[in-house]
Amino acid sequence: MGHLSMADATLSAQSKPEHATRPSFLRNLLLKNLSAKIAALPMIVTVLVVFVGCSAWSVYYSFTNSGQLPSGKFVGFAQYERLFHTARFIGAAKNLAMYGVMALVFTMVIGFLLAVLMDQKIRFENTFRTILLYPFALSFIVTGLVWQWIMNPNYGIEKVLHDWGFTNLHFDLLNNGNTVIYGLVIAGLWQGTGFVMVLMLAGLRGVDEEIWKAARVDGIPTWRTYLQIVLPMMRGVIVTTLVIVGSGIVRLYDLVVALTQGGPGFASDVPAKYVYDYMFGRANLGQGLAASTVMLVTVAIILIPWAYLEFGPKKNK
Amino acid sequence: MAVDTLEPRGMRPRPFFTPRKIIIYSLLFFVSVYYLFPMYVMIVTSLKDLDEVRGGNIFALPVRFTFDPWFKAWNSACTGLYCEGLKVGFFNSVKITVPSVIVSVLIASINGYALVNWRFKGSEVFFVILLFGSFIPYQVMLYPMVIILRELKMFSTLQGVILIHTIFGMPILTLLFRNYFASLPPELFKAARVDGAGFWRIFFQIMVPMSLPIFVVAMILQITGIWNDFLFGVIYAGNQNYPMTVQLNNIVNSTQGVKEYNVNMAATILTGLVPLAVYFISGKWFVRGIAAGAVKG
């Protein structure tokens, strides 16, 4: 049936009644709504080739000893063994875990608190929202470079503090391996909390006004209403936000490149950067692919419980 | 609900300066200062000459006001390889962003339309995989995509990076359009079908004109997203097509020569200008876009 031109196909799918002689299952499968199928072809190709195909390809070749080109022979879990014995990768994973826990907790908590603050029937709500959200329109590269300058040990906040006479205070997070992650978190929070705030605010506004009235009638203090009644009701928004923020954290790359380049040493290295360096810098494809597969598994570990909670029970009809 | 009652409605009017309000507004004020000061620091640094940058503190207003860093950032800043300024990256970003936005929005809108009104066997399965695909770390797909683009003779070309943006923008945009089209009254579609209109005719003459808001939202999402992209640009665009973010990073983080912090900050603002302009002009639409993209219908 591949010889049908698009125009023919459109015609046969829409105006011509099906040949009543022999209803063919295959024919039906291919030709019913044919123009819709043609229109959806980019999506189908993307799904099959990119999301399924490329991922499967990467996972497969992570079990080979491919160097510069994906031509290596099968070596089982050797790449993974090496990966988990490479100090740089372990460090990168630890850094990401540390960044991830802090960024996740702080963005969620601060985002929620800001949303509550914005929900107090304040004046100039639009102005405040514009201010809190504008960093989210900026790229991680811009974010990283601004904060690199602000945290510059010679000319940045450190110098301001010293000029003001606080010579004991230090704000040199980026050049110290023990504190560089906090620098990343500060920059990341600046960029992302506004976004969480907007989502949380939408969630707060979605709570029925009657709930508030009932709570007020019962004399429950506002903070307890937020914490014990409204927050549990926002489960959907919170879970969605967690998933978005979480999968963003796993991908963390641009911000590191701009703010610290993974340094000092490898103190702020992250898996995404490890993958990039081994794939494109060091021509060690097998290592890069193994590391990327570990990232994929990590995301799956985050996603599968969520998918089960969201979609699982419905499927058990 | 009875609207025209004579009893006073709403909350009792309160004086403006209650302790609660003072706390709320001072909190909001300090938070706003925290969010605004990096922008302030960028602007003042970019307007000082280098001696003043080194001598003064980052919060001080410029004494010898100068626009030179801005001209230098735009015209002659060095990326480590050549010194033609950020303008090269700016025009590359325009060349990448404009076609990417058009193609990705067009394809995703057709996807959404087909998924809602022309379901076929397996269409929902593809959609679910597409959605889950948006959570796969890009790092997993980077290298195989390099091979595919190389086979298509599109690696290190504008077309290549445009294709990449179209592919990776597809999940979120398709979701956006699908949810929007699903909210339109189905009678419209049925009436057009009865009148004999086909797939494309219904799309272009009925669905598109009715869906301009969602097209605006999708375009805002894509313009900012693609303009801010770094990873795809650095891998797939090729040296001669590096977008502005990549060039900016090369300028600021290049290790050679004297660090010109004022030029760097001017370059950083310049790179952020397009998404910021989109953000400030679009206002509520931007908020609607990110909320629509995030909260599933």
Ramachandran assignment for B46, one of left (phi > 0), alpha (psi -120 to 50 degrees), beta (any other): alpha
**Contacts of B97 by beta carbon, 8 Å cutoff, 6+ apart:** B223, B226, B227
For the segment A48-97, what is each residue's pLDDT rounded down to a tens digit? 999 999 999 999 999 988 888 887 788 888 889 888 988 899 999 999 99
Write out residues in chain B with pLDDT < 70, as ranges. Answer: 1-16, 255, 292-297
Q: Which amino acid is at B132?
A: F
Cβ atoms B28, A117 nearer than 8 A: yes
Here the tokens at position B33 are: 């200062």
**Domain extent at residue A126:** 83-315
Closest C-alpha to A108, from A197, A186, A233, A227: A197
Residue A310 Cα, gap to closest chain B Cα (Å): 11
Between residues B256 and A110, which one has the greater pLDDT?
A110
Distance CA B46, CA A126 (A): 28
Among A40, A62, A80, residue at a domain's last position: A80
For the segment B239-285, what is each residue's pLDDT rounded down to a tens digit? 889 999 999 998 888 767 778 888 899 999 999 999 999 998 887 88
Q: Read off the DSSP letter of residue A53.
A: I
Q: Which residue in the set A52, A128, A275 is minimally distant from B32, CB to CB?
A: A128
pLDDT over 50 at A122, yes or no: yes
Instruction: Check whether residue A135 and residue A199 sit in a common domain.
Output: yes
For the segment A26-48, what is each residue's pLDDT rounded down to a tens digit? 666 666 677 888 888 888 899 99
Instruction: Show residues of chain A in contact with B287, CB under 8 Å.
Output: 129, 133, 198
Among A80, A107, A142, residue at a domain's last position: A80
Instruction: Check whether residue A145 and residue A258 sit in a common domain.
Output: yes
Distance CA A67, CA B191 (A): 59
Confidence of residue A4 (pLDDT cuts 50, 70, 90): very low
Q: Which residue in the set A131, A147, A199 is minimally distant from B294, CB to CB?
A: A199
Output phi, psi for A74, to 5 deg: -65, 130
Instruction: Check whether residue A19 and residue A101 sit in a common domain.
Output: no
The predicted structure's pLDDT at residue A12: 39
Query: Between the CA of residue B292 and those of B24, B126, B286, B288, what are the distances in Å?
Result: 29, 21, 10, 6
Instruction: Check whether residue A124 and residue A254 sit in a common domain.
Output: yes
Mean of per-residue pLDDT scores for chain A: 83
Q: Which amino acid is at A175?
A: N
Residue A15 lies in a domain: yes
When pLDDT is averaged across residues A280-301 and rounded to a whole number, the result is 89
Cβ atoms A200, A241 nearer than 8 A: yes
When pLDDT is averaged across residues A275-302 and rounded to a whole number, the result is 89
Number of A:B CB contacts under 8 A? 261
Query: Between the CA of residue A60 and those of A17, A71, B78, B132, what are the distances in Å?
Result: 46, 12, 41, 20
Strand partners, A74: A64
Total tally of structural domains belonging to chain A:
2
What are the b/e assignments for B120-137, b being 16+ CB within 10 Å? beebeebbebbbbbebbb
Helix, strand, coil tally for chain A in percent (to 5): 70, 0, 30
Query: Between the CA of residue B97 and those of A78, A293, B91, what are the distances in Å?
Result: 41, 30, 10
Residue A247 lies in a domain: yes
The predicted structure's pLDDT at residue A24: 65
Among A80, A101, A135, residue at a domain's last position: A80
The predicted structure's pLDDT at residue B15: 64
How many other β-carbons are positioned within 10 Å of the β-carbon of residue B260? 20
Distance CA B52, CA B66 (A): 11
- Rg of the Cα trace of chain A? 26
Instruction: Show residues of chain B in contact with A285, CB under 8 Å.
Output: 143
Distance CA B4, CA B181 (A): 37
CATH class assigned to B87-294: mainly alpha
Distance CA A284, CA A78 (A): 13
Q: Read off the DSSP letter of residue A1.
A: -
Distance CA A233, CA A238 (A): 9
* Residue A246, CB-side half-sphere exposure with 13 Å CA sphere: 17
Q: Which residue in the set B24, B141, B291 is minimally distant from A55, CB to CB?
A: B141
The predicted structure's pLDDT at residue A28: 66
Residue A21 Cα, gap to closest chain B Cα (Å): 23
Instruction: Show residues of chain B in contact with A276, CB under 8 Å.
Output: 139, 142, 231
Beta-carbon separation of A198 and B291 below 8 A? yes
Tell me if residue A124 falls in helix, strand or coil. coil
The predicted structure's pLDDT at residue A316: 44
Task: Write the DSSP string, A143-205.
Answer: HHHHHHHHT-TTTSHHHHHHHTT-TT-----TTSTTTHHHHHHHHHHHHHHHHHHHHHHHHHH
Distance CA A53, CA A46 (A): 9
What are the b/e assignments for A65-91, b being 16+ CB within 10 Å? bbeeebebeebeeebbebbeeeebbeb
The predicted structure's pLDDT at residue A2: 37
Here the tokens at position A240 are: 């969605």
- Tokens 């990232």 correspond to A295
Beta-carbon separation of A303 and B135 below 8 A? yes
Instruction: Show residues of chain B in contact with A307, CB under 8 Å.
Output: 132
Instruction: Check whether residue A33 and residue A153 sit in a common domain.
Output: no
When pLDDT is averaged across residues A238-248 and rounded to a whole number, the result is 83
* Residue A202, CB-side half-sphere exposure with 13 Å CA sphere: 21
Instruction: Show residues of chain A in contact with B227, CB under 8 Å.
Output: 139
The predicted structure's pLDDT at residue B150: 92
Closest C-alpha to A295, from A58, A5, A57, A126: A58
Beta-carbon separation of A198 and B264 below 8 A? no
Q: Which amino acid is at B264?
A: N
The predicted structure's pLDDT at residue A111: 93
Here the tokens at position A25 are: 């299952």
Instruction: Check whether residue A55 and residue A27 sit in a common domain.
Output: yes
Q: Which amino acid is at B119?
A: R
Instruction: Check whether residue A51 and residue A131 sit in a common domain.
Output: no
For the segment A132-175, what is each residue's pLDDT rounded down to a tens digit? 999 999 999 999 999 999 998 888 888 888 888 877 777 778 88
A33 touches chain B (CB under 8 A): yes
Beta-carbon separation of B275 and A258 below 8 A? no
Q: Which amino acid is at B92?
A: N
Q: Which residue in the set A59, A149, A160 is minimally distant from B57, CB to CB?
A: A160
A293 touches chain B (CB under 8 A): yes
Instruction: Check whether residue A123 and residue A69 sit in a common domain.
Output: no
Residue A1 lies in a domain: no
Please state the three-class secondary structure of chain B as a single string: CCCCCCCCCCCCCCCCCCHHHHHHHHHHHHHHHHHHHHHHHHHHHHCCCHHHHHHCCCCCCCCCCCCHHHHHHHHCCCCCCCCCCCHHHHHHHHHHHHHHHHHHHHHHHHHHHHHHHCCCCCHHHHHHHHHHHCCCCHHHHHHHHHHHHHHCCCCCCHHHHHHHHHHHHHHHHHHHHHHHHHHCCHHHHHHHHHCCCCHHHHHHHHHHHHCHHHHHHHHHHHHHHHHCCCHHHHHHHCHHHCCHHHHHHHHHHCCCCCCCHHHHHHHHHHHHHHHHHHHHHHCHHHHHHHHHHHCCC
Strand partners, A299: none
> Which of A10-24, A127-141, A301-315 shows the lowest per-residue confidence on average (mean pLDDT)?
A10-24
Cβ atoms A39, B121 nearer than 8 A: no
The predicted structure's pLDDT at residue A317: 36
Strand partners, A64: A74
The chain A residue lying nearest B34, using CA atoms, is A190
Distance CA A69, CA A90 (A): 25
pLDDT over 50 at A14, yes or no: no
List the domain boundaries for chain B: 19-66, 87-294
Q: Which residue in the set B31, B167, B279 is minimally distant from A134, CB to CB?
A: B279
